[in-house]
Structure 1
Amino acid sequence: MLEHIKNYFKMEYEKNSQTIIIEGPVSEETLNTYTFDEHLNAFRRPNDQFEALKEIASLEEGRIIVARVDNNIIGYVTFHRPDEFERWSEGNHPFILELGAVEVSDSYRNLRIGQNMLKLSMMDEYMENYIVLTTEYYWHWDLKGTGLDVYDYKQLMINLMAVVGFEVYMTNDPEITSHPANTLMARVGKHITTEQQLIFDEIRFKHRYFF
């Protein structure tokens, strides 16, 4: 049984005369001492998203990585158990974790913040005990803000996730197969067993013999 150990890491670097701090996993108590950038609104209103981050941070398996300038959060990555309504939660396997969201404020794009948050999140050796999956849906992407079409954005996300070892995986999940730009990616930790890998494969192709 996994203990969901969380080891804290931190990095700092200078960009545009500002010190950008990447850190995590951070606790709910730490998040309460920070503010949340008003441009972090890709998934819901900023205040609501900030509350969602605090809730995830309070979970035993939840992990929040943040980027901040001073005490103002300008980016974040979330890790949590798959949603109970998604197939990835089937069997309630503790070794399956979902990378739920990566978001960076519009004012701080193109500064490698997303990439650095992902790199820091995988500095923890304990992450090697997980299969971390991420479901990329085109309707969550900032196509208007970036000027990219869905396939260019898909490649952008694949390249970003590949930096920390995520690979594209096939699946018959209806939400993924509903559009060719949607993508399932996963990072299989070094300590994942063959049995655990087979369980993940079975979930990916649930009901495959009934088509």
Structure 2
Amino acid sequence: MLHKKKALTLRMNTDFGTILLKGPVTPEQLDELEIYDQLDAFRPPLQQLEALKEIASLDEGRIIVALKDNNIIGYVTFLYPDPIERWSTFKMKNLIELGAIEIAKDYRGLHLGSKLIELSVRDPFMDNYIIISTEYYWHWDINETKLSVWEYRKIMEKMMNAGGLQPAPTNDPEIMSHPANCLMVRIGKNVKEEDRQLFDKLRFLND
């Protein structure tokens, strides 16, 4: 299933100058980069950079970055679901999770999140995968944006739509715990019918 990761690039001309979107990047490439000090949603920036290197070193791990000069100002990660989560129950080798996406506050409003996700799925090999993203409102920086839960949900959904991810029903207790939470899914055109059916079973475990 896994293949040699061929990097894709996209240049964006913005009011901040040229921003380069690139990936999947290797741990060695990440060693040559610095990380913007506002990328601290999950852990302190330097620790986050180390975490990105760890993901990039995984066979299935994919990191797409947005760069201003030599600085990472945004990123999106793809990797297998956490072994303790329901999404790894069947150990599907073609099920990959959009694990995290973060954009530095100074560079928001440029649609970098959407562009990163769009670039991520431009690799034809991603059509072999079922991509999921679990959206929980308590992970959203609602206080920072001053948006309501539903306004933020609409933004997240639009951003995921850029990569072809659509809301999908599930009986997962965490997602069902709040109506703004959702499971976003993109099923690649090369995914076999038996894997689609297995994923349907996964979405409604014990139903």
TM range (shorter): over 0.9
Q: Which TM-score applies when normalising by structure 1?
A: 0.96
Cα distance in 2 for partners of 1:179, 1:92 equals 27
Q: Deviations over 1:150-202 (max 9, x none)?
A: 11111111111112211101111111111111110100001011100011111
Q: Which amino acid aligns with 1:204?
A: R
Structure 1 residue matching 2:76: 3-state secondary structure:
strand
| 8 A Cα contact 1:97 1:133, kept in partner | yes
1:199: which partner in 2?
198
Q: Deviations over 1:74-120 (max 9, x none)?
A: 00000000000100011211100000011100000001111111111
| 8 A Cα contact 1:34 1:72, kept in partner | yes
Deviates most, 95-104 or 145-154: 145-154
Q: Which amino acid aligns with 1:69?
A: K
1:155: which partner in 2?
154
1:96: which partner in 2?
95
Q: What is the Cα deviation at residue 5 of structure 1? A: 3.7
2:15: which partner in 1?
16
Q: How does 1:118-157 map to 2 (within 5 A)?
A: 118-157=117-156
Q: Which amino acid aligns with 2:119?
A: L
1:111 aligns with 2:102: no
Structure 1 residue matching 2:198: 3-state secondary structure:
helix
Q: What is the Cα deviation at residue 17 of structure 1? A: 4.2
| 8 A Cα contact 2:120 2:163, kept in partner | no
Ranges in structure 2 where 5+ consecutive residues have no aligned partner: none
Cα distance in 1 for partners of 2:139, 2:67 equals 23
1:44 aligns with 2:43: yes
Structure 1 residue matching 2:179: 3-state secondary structure:
coil
Q: Which TM-score applies when normalising by structure 2?
A: 0.97
Q: Deviations over 1:24-68 (max 9, x none)?
A: 000000000000011011122212211111000000000000001
Cα distance in 1 for partners of 2:44, 2:135 equals 20
Q: Which amino acid aligns with 2:72?
A: I
| 8 A Cα contact 1:150 1:181, kept in partner | yes
Distance 1:199 1:4, change over 3 A: farther
Q: How does 1:18-33 map to 2 (within 5 A)?
A: 18-33=17-32
Cα distance in 2 for partners of 1:167, 1:112 equals 18
| 8 A Cα contact 1:43 1:140, kept in partner | no
Structure 1 residue matching 2:119: 3-state secondary structure:
helix
**Paired residue total:** 207
Cα distance in 2 for partners of 1:204, 1:7 equals 31
Distance 1:34 1:143, change over 3 A: same
| 8 A Cα contact 2:115 2:162, kept in partner | no
| 8 A Cα contact 1:56 1:63, kept in partner | yes
1:69 aligns with 2:61: no
| 8 A Cα contact 1:35 1:72, kept in partner | yes
Ranges in structure 1 where 5+ consecutive residues have no aligned partner: none
1:182 aligns with 2:181: yes
Q: Which amino acid aligns with 2:127?
A: E
